[in-house]
Structure 1
Amino acid sequence: MYDLLRGLSLVEVSSFVASPTAGLYCAQMGAEVIRVDQIGGGLDYDRYMQTAEGRSLAWENLNRAKKSVALDLRGGEGRELCVELARATGQLVTNLPEKSFLSHAAVSEGRPDMVSVRIMGWHDGRQAMDFTVNAASGYPLMTGPDEWAADTAPPVNQVLPAWDFITGAYGAFALLAALHHRAATGEGSEVRVPLGDVMLGTVANSGAMAEMLYRGDDRERLGNAIWGALGRDFTSRDGKRFMIAVLTSKQWRAMVGALDIAQPIAALEAEAGVEFAQSDHHRFVHREALFAIVQEAAAREDYAVLAERLAAAGATFERYRTMHEAAGDPALVTGNPLFGPSPANPSGFEYPAPRSFANLPGRVAGDPAPAPYLGQHSEEVLAERLGLASGAIAALIDRGVVAASDKDSFRRPA
């Protein structure tokens, strides 16, 4: 954690991935993020996968470094406390619908400088999630073996909820942009970030939308080949699969030199009447012939030898790993300063935890902080933010409007 956002507090009322990610990134930069959940946990509190005790590892990791307040959000009194808390804090991140009790109109009443960021599905209010907006993106029908027929091949869904994480990151950016505007003008803002628009905007920003309209058709499936450049997976003599990517002339020269394939490359250039060193286009058009040359060279050596040569030459490559293998890899995780020691996780399970993805030379990142127990900070936050006395908070707890930490009362969900 860095302290660049120290002094910034925000209330987060959210579930699943995109909205909690926005709060997580702010927390990793030093903001005080107060997560408000339904007593007993919201929709994502027991999200798969769980430990044997029933603690969600997904929830634990998306809510590191946050504070937790547990309220009865199904009842009027608990909802009013949540609105008052958001209003008193001045910043809200949520994925509740606009027509819920956390509408911008409700939380900004008497607080014209209120900033709320709302993660939505589609811009017109329809529900969506990562996997459904991805179906509309076109990418699942672009993915798969190149021999699959375009009109009968099935879609290939992505495993990573990438649109969720991009939306969360954009939500954090939009929040800080609105706060910058408020600092300059005193004006509050209602910011809506539709997941579907993040997907469509990203497709457009990448140039893919313009490309489809220009060509008047879809791309062909390319298997594991990179679109518009040279790159694919190859197999070494000892059966290790690895990726090589070539997007620049420097990367091209590094690969050719490391694999000692200048002679067959020159022969192919003479046959095709092209030069590959300076042209992504020529490398892409003649990719199958180039792939055959690279694979023949890869098959002559074990991966360790190939990796040493490719690294020394400055080529861009990496070996394929299973995710379980990657999780314990010394270069990727255990020896990477991105990861710190395991904090005292609510699950009780110890494992490396990431710091902020950004690296700020000269500043101490600090060790990763744990996720809170549900309701761990209910009494602290209500006292500090709303000025409630201990007796009033105790009465709210007795009536089931507020709950304290579930550390010792947690029960595995059925």
Structure 2
Amino acid sequence: MTVSDPIAQPLDGVRIVEFASFVAGPSAGMALAQLGADVIRVDPLGGNADYRRWPLSDRTGESLYWNSLNRGKRSVAVDVRSDAGRELLLNLATAPGADAGIVVDNAVGRSWFSYETLRARREDVIAVRVQGRADGGPAVDYTVNGAAGVADLTGPVYTDAPVNHVLPAWDLLCGQQVVSSVLAALRRRDRTGHGALVEIALADVAMAAVANMGWFSEAAERGDRVRHGNHVYGGFGVDFATADGDRVMIVALTPRQWKAIGEATGTAEVFAALSASLHADFFTDEGRYEHRGVIEAVLTPWFAKNSTSHVHAALQNAGVLWGPYRSAAGVAADFAADPASEPVLESLVQPGVGEIISANSAARFDSQYSGSVPAAPLGHDTDAVLSEVLGLDAGELGRLRDDGVIG
């Protein structure tokens, strides 16, 4: 497969130094790179703590995680334990240029990379720092999710044990908060000349998101919400099994969507009669939510007697809000069979791994996807970046390499 030719993007010419690991910071760097920024990822020699993170490729043993989150960035590897290596990183982070001097990191506890140190070298530096907790304590997605109460809301109704989820939602949301902060700080600097220190705590991201949906206020008034399994809270939505054993999820958020369910399944008259006998208005969220068990019982036989293909066609034709359940392997197989079925995805050849399923930015500028490029091998761009940004010549690079400062 060939690599896409990236189109001109809005952040072309902006240079960002990323000194971060795991999901939040690197996902932000990747998103900024997909918008056209020159993102220079700096790692210690041999890679950071996430360089070998799972999943690993069965073909080569390389980290699919690392090579996916670092697509489109340039890679520099230096010995950040040495004074010379730290000096290189500081110089890269504060190099001159109207669209430079922007840092994304999670280097909490590294005093040598503090905002004060960066600002002493460049007054208008922008530093966006990911933290675990606002007080400086450690946290990861898996710990803040439970602390925010979400794990107690998740899972089947027959257990009260907390249920973790595999998607690092707060990490990914934190990464997008980093992107917003970089752009806001850059906009302010363009207008006022002022730099910025922006600190974003992962725990704050989770707490704010849950609060902003009203869940804490609800709990303060009513106590803890009961679990609903796969039912949608406050309305109607649940999954059903087809005659083939596949499952689909249907949701009704509007009166039109509720009407479509009745049309697709031939149950409109049944629900009209039930509505009258129960004195319930199924065209409202409250009515559907209160009687969700009855609605589910009425709909279950229709799904159970019809094939998956018939169910999909009927739901689609009636305008139902629905979606199939697929495994990750199923998504990969469907994409291989018909790449146009998921236009945001793209196949490309990742050096050291082979062909992988990659993704464009979900943001389409002028109706076009961003294009996708592979991740650079660790340290691949060290010489080019140090020469281009810092002006080091071949002799200086050779001495740094002889001293073990660069690989």
TM norm structure 2: 0.94
Which runs of 4 or more aligned residues in structure 1 lie more than 6 Å from their structure 2 counterparts after TM superposition? none
Does 1:112 find its partner at 2:123? yes
Q: Which residue of 2 aligns with 1:370?
A: 374
Q: Which residue of 1 aligns with 2:26?
A: 20
- SS of the counterpart of 2:251? strand
Q: Distance in 2 between the 1:142 and 1:124 partners?
A: 27
Q: Which residue of 2 aligns with 1:269?
A: 275
Give the partner amino acid of 1:159.
Answer: V
Does 1:213 find its partner at 2:250? no
Q: Distance in 2 between the 1:8 and 1:58 partners?
A: 25
Q: Distance in 2 between the 1:218 and 1:184 partners?
A: 47
Does 1:397 find its partner at 2:397? no
In the TM superposition, 1:177-196 aligns within 5 A as 177-196=184-203
Deviation sequence 1:205-235 (CA, Å, 0-9, x none):
11112211122x0100111100001001111
Q: Distance in 2 between the 1:110 and 1:74 partners?
A: 20
In structure 2, relative to structure 1, the CA distance for the partners of 1:195 and 1:349 (3 Å cut) is same
Q: Which residue of 1 aligns with 2:244?
A: 238
Q: Distance in 1 between the 2:321 and 2:188 partners?
A: 41
Q: Which residue of 2 aligns with 1:409?
A: none
Tell me by how many angstroms 1:366 deviates: 5.1
**Maintained 8 Å contact 2:35/2:370:** no
Q: Distance in 2 between the 1:24 and 1:193 partners?
A: 18
- SS of the counterpart of 1:351? strand
**Maintained 8 Å contact 2:364/2:370:** no
Tell me by how many angstroms 1:352 deviates: 2.5
Tell me by how many angstroms 1:307 deviates: 1.0
- Decide which of 98, 103, 114 is 1:92's aligned counterpart: 103
Q: Distance in 2 between the 1:351 and 1:294 partners?
A: 40
Q: Distance in 1 between the 2:104 and 2:41 partners?
A: 9
Q: Which residue of 1 aligns with 2:353?
A: 348
In the TM superposition, 1:3-402 aligns within 5 A as 3-51=9-57, 52-88=59-95, 89-148=100-159, 153-215=160-222, 217-277=223-283, 279-330=284-335, 334-335=339-340, 336-342=342-348, 344-363=349-368, 365=369, 367-402=371-406
Q: Distance in 2 between the 1:288 and 1:198 partners?
A: 34
- SS of the counterpart of 1:12? strand
Q: Distance in 2 between the 1:35 and 1:332 partners?
A: 34
- SS of the counterpart of 2:113? coil
**Maintained 8 Å contact 2:350/2:356:** no
TM norm structure 1: 0.92
Q: Distance in 2 between the 1:110 and 1:75 partners?
A: 19
Identical amino acids, percent of aligned pairs: 39
**Maintained 8 Å contact 1:378/1:402:** yes
Tell me by how many angstroms 1:100 deviates: 3.1
Deviation sequence 1:357-411 (CA, Å, 0-9, x none):
1122354x353101011111111111111111111011101111012xxxxxxxx
Structure 2 stretches lacking a partner, 5+ long = 1-5
Deviation sequence 1:301-331 (CA, Å, 0-9, x none):
1121111111011101111111111122249
**Maintained 8 Å contact 1:21/1:62:** yes
Q: Distance in 1 between the 2:121 and 2:326 partners?
A: 54
Q: Distance in 2 between the 1:140 and 1:305 partners?
A: 36
Q: Distance in 2 between the 1:332 and 1:292 partners?
A: 36
Tell me by how many angstroms 1:166 deviates: 0.5
Q: Distance in 2 between the 1:239 and 1:340 partners?
A: 30
Q: Which residue of 1 aligns with 2:3?
A: none
